[in-house]
Amino acid sequence: MERLKALLEAGVVTYSDGKFFLTPLGEERAASLLPRKDVRCPHCQGGYTFSVFPEAFALYHRLVEGRPLPNLDYDQGFMTESDVFSRVAFLYERGDLEGQDILILGDDDLLSLALASTGLPRSITVLEVDRRIVEFITRRSKEHNLGITALEYNAASPYPLKEHAFSVFITDPVESEKGLKITLSRGAQALKRGGALYFGLTTIESSWHKWYNVERMLLEMGFVVTDILRRFSAYPDSDNHFDEEFYDRTMMRRLMDMEFPLPADADWFRSSFIRCEAVEEPQPLVVGEVVFDTDFYLDEETMATPKFV
């Protein structure tokens, strides 16, 4: 945003009707630059396709109808259905789906329903702070005999299940450093030695310095990073019904002191999907109850996280 503002002030870029354009000066300066070429495959997401699960994807599409919309107080926002199933395909390829005991912490994406639709996991457990989502997953599970256990739980509270009992742990954590430390620690409490820890992380709300700190946390807890799928998951405005209320509660809206049309016409919020493996029995950095306050969600880098009202 600072660089964009500098370009605007220098007269290189102009803003009109919700879009940014190069000015004549910008066109002149850009004449010597080669246009960026898209080298990503248009047929898969980071090398993964869910076309091998057509029946499961069709069932998932039906299961999520009437889903709860995001509660901004919990920093919710769900990804596209196709990106959810790209995650399913990735788990399957890495051996973390079939016959596995899977724990999901926070499931507004309803990944549990997608995983259960394949019929491959041995068990699926969901810990979720939002009672609406717990009730929705439970209802869909009973209607379709999916066998999912969904429990109401706030990650700031002590871990409620048997420790080191799961083989796979999946979460999309809040990206404050405090929130990341607590959430990943719950994963360390959940997983057995050799277990797989999956989580999302962006470069929108996390600098490389924060990524460095996250990697140090993972090493201290006994994990090694095995895979990072860059910009693997999108969270579109239209699906989530993100409107003025959402944007007005974010830091980026205050820094970007101009009006722009909503919903956004591009999937601007994308996260990388990270897989780690426990090379020893994981040791959490945080145990027991912690204070549940704004620091759980917010730090100086959380640009797109809605603040409490």
Domain presence at residue 245: yes
In a domain, 210, yes or no: yes
- φ/ψ of 213, rounded to 5, equals -65, -40
Number of domains, the chain: 1
Q: Please state the pTM of the whole predicted model.
A: 0.92
Q: Is residue 270 one of the residues assigned to a domain? A: yes
49 in any annotated domain: no
- Residue 26 domain flag: no
- The fraction of the chain above a pLDDT of 70, given in percent, is 99
Quote the pLDDT of residue 240: 77
Task: Name the 3-class secondary structure at 207.
Answer: coil
pLDDT given for residue 38 in this prediction: 83
Q: What is the pLDDT along the chain (309 residues), one digit of tens a residue?
A: 889 989 999 999 999 888 899 999 999 999 999 888 888 888 877 788 888 899 999 999 999 999 999 888 888 888 999 999 999 999 999 999 999 999 999 999 999 999 999 999 999 999 999 999 999 999 999 999 999 999 999 999 999 999 999 999 999 999 999 999 999 999 999 999 999 999 999 998 999 999 999 999 999 999 999 999 998 888 888 887 788 888 888 888 878 777 777 788 888 889 999 999 999 999 999 999 999 888 888 888 998 888 854
Helices (H), the chain: 2-9, 24-30, 54-63, 81-93, 111-117, 131-144, 177-190, 208-221, 237-240, 244-248, 251-255, 294-297
The model's pLDDT over 238-268, given as tens digits with 9 standing for 90+, comes to 887 788 888 888 888 878 777 777 788 888 8
- The helix/strand count (H/E) of the chain reads as 12, 9
CATH number at residue 224: 3.40.50.150
Range of the domain at 142: 55-297
Tell me, yes or no, whether 7 lies in a domain.
Answer: no
Residue 153 lies in a domain: yes
Supply the pLDDT for residue 15.
92
Q: Is residue 27 part of a domain?
A: no
Residues 6+ apart with CB under 8 A from 288: 158
